[in-house]
């Protein structure tokens, strides 16, 4: 057996990119080891410098490209190479859509026994490439004596100040910049994670794309503002802002929001519209960041569920009942759950607003509620699940299997956890009917997908 030659940090080598990784990086092989190279596209040959060496892989940086992929384009953002928000601005949009379909194919090929060649895996449905995000969630820091807001550079704690971002809605950016200026005017102490001191951590701005209503949430380590009343008044006076809230997050965590939220000025909730529905959004409630593309996804969920009016439907990881509203009219009964209490209140209010008295939402985890309902005799026919990136809890998967639901419509934002969960369900007697990928976040490596799984019918002998 040949001896593996160890790569060395600082070594310059020539490679050809073979495929793309899950974070948008190019992948090559050297001395039988995988090497990840951000910025390199499939088919391109380049000189690279090894920056990190691990047991089974290495990381490298691009030194010089020797050729150019047909999919390579010039990034529009001047700070693209510094900011960690986008990973694919150097790739054509058609290339991005193919890449995202390929990510799903690779994930299912690695984690399941699905016949990829015969499976109904559809082409990625695109959306508008720029200014699609309705919410900015920027960290706050200092540059010299100046307070700035922005995003952390990839794999670092270095904050990149952002006053313009071409994937963000322009109104959201306008308000974020105005709030950042006010933080300077009021000389608000900036949070320091190393010292566990300071006040302001994040600025969160959400814009109702169709309503024009804007919500601002100041996320603070503690309530140490010298003049919170004056600051909140001036933020409320920014044109378009109708809601100003303070959220306290005193934990050493990468999570943005803490548990305690107080509305300082204006209304508690802003409104947004999707399809025929109007949603009430409280400060911490989850809502799709690209509502235009979300509409297309929800339309597909309705088609996939194919409800006849006779089905009991579970809406798991429900948020504010965004999907639930779209399926309620076709269901016999809808029950949903969400761990954030304010979101559950919003979901129930939405159902009441549209007269869906056969739908109810509860606080808690799906894996706790489903067995309880089944034990009480309420047996679901269809599950709609839209979990976080970590995927479904194993207990929930087992609860779905035990309930013998006829159909599961799985909405996912992570191909790896999606494939893992589908493998669990496939081994328990479900088959994948089709997979439809969506590009929810152009210029990034993220891909959303809807997978429809149906209970296999037992063969008759």
Q: State the average pLDDT over residues 40-57.
A: 96
Q: State the average pLDDT over residues 186-200.
A: 94
Strands 312-316 and 333-338 turn out to be parallel
- Asked whether the predicted pLDDT for residue 1 surpasses 50, the reply is no
| pLDDT on residue 2 | 52
Q: Looking up tokens 């600051």, which residue turns up? A: 231
pTM above 0.95, yes or no: no
Q: 104-127+290-455, what's its fold?
A: Rossmann fold (3.40.50)
Domain ranges of the chain: 11-66, 104-127+290-455, 135-268
- CATH no. of 135-268: 2.40.50.1070
The correct answer on CATH 2.40.50.90 for the domain covering 11-66 is no
Catalytic positions are 413
Q: Are 272 and 288 in contact (CB under 8 A)?
A: no
Q: How many helices (H) and strands (E) does the chain have?
A: 9, 22
DSSP 208-231: -TTT--EEEEEEESS---S-HHHH
Per-residue exposure over 146-171, b if at least 16 CB sit within 10 Å of its own CB, e if not: ebbbbbbbbeeeebbbbeebbbbbeb
Q: State the average pLDDT over residues 9-35.
A: 96
Instruction: Output the known binding site for S-adenosyl-L-methionine.
Output: 288, 317, 338, 386
Fold agreement between 104-127+290-455 and 135-268: no
| pLDDT on residue 239 | 98
Instruction: Select from 337, 207, 181, 363 the least CA-distant residue to 271.
Output: 207
Question: Using one digit for the tens of pLDDT, what is the confidence trace for 251-304?
Answer: 988 899 999 999 999 999 999 999 999 999 999 988 899 999 999 999 999 999
């Amino acid at each position: 057996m040949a001896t593996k030659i160890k790569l060395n940090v600082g070594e310059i080598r020539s490679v050809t990119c073979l495929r793309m990784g899950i974070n948008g990086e190019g992948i090559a092989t050297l001395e039988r080891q995988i090497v990840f190279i951000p910025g390199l596209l499939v088919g391109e040959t380049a000189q690279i410098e090894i920056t990190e060496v691990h047991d089974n892989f290495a990381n490298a940086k691009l030194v010089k490209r020797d050729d150019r992929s047909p999919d390579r384009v010039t990034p529009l953002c001047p700070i693209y190479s510094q900011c960690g928000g986008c990973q694919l601005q150097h790739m054509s949009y058609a290339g991005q859509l193919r890449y995202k379909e390929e990510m799903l194919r690779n994930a299912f090929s690695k984690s399941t026994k699905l016949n990829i060649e015969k499976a109904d895996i559809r082409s990625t449905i695109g959306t508008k490439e720029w200014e699609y995000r309705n919410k900015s969630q920027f960290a706050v820091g200092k540059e010299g004596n100046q307070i700035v807001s922005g995003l952390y550079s990839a794999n670092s704690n270095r904050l990149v100040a952002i006053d313009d971002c071409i994937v963000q809605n322009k109104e959201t950016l306008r308000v974020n910049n105005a709030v950042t200026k006010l933080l300077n005017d009021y000389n608000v102490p900036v949070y320091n994670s190393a010292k566990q001191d300071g006040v302001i951590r994040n600025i969160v701005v959400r814009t109702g794309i169709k309503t024009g209503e804007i919500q601002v949430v100041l996320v603070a380590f503690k309530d140490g503002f010298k003049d919170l009343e004056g600051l909140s008044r001036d933020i409320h006076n920014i044109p378009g802002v109708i809601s100003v809230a303070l959220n306290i997050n005193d934990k050493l965590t990468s999570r943005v929001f803490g548990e305690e939220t107080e509305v300082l000025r204006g209304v508690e909730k802003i409104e947004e519209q999707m399809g025929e529905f109007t949603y009430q959004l409280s400060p911490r409630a989850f809502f799709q960041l690209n509502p235009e593309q979300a509409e297309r996804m929800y339309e597909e969920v309705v088609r996939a569920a194919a409800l006849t009016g006779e089905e009991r439907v579970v809406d798991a990881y429900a948020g504010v009942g965004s999907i639930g509203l779209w399926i309620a009219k076709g269901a016999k009964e809808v029950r949903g759950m969400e761990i954030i209490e304010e979101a559950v209140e919003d979901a129930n209010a939405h159902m009441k607003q549209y007269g869906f008295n056969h739908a109810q939402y509860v606080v808690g985890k799906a894996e706790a509620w489903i067995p309880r309902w089944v034990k009480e005799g309420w047996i679901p026919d269809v599950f709609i699940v839209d979990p976080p990136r970590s995927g479904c809890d194993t207990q929930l998967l087992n609860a779905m299997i035990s309930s013998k639901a006829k159909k599961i419509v799985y909405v996912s934002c992570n191909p790896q956890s999606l494939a893992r969960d589908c493998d669990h369900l496939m081994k328990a007697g479900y088959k994948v009917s089709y997979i439809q990928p969506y590009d929810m976040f152009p210029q990034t490596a993220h891909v959303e997908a809807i997978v429809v799984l149906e209970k296999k019918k037992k063969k008759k002998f």
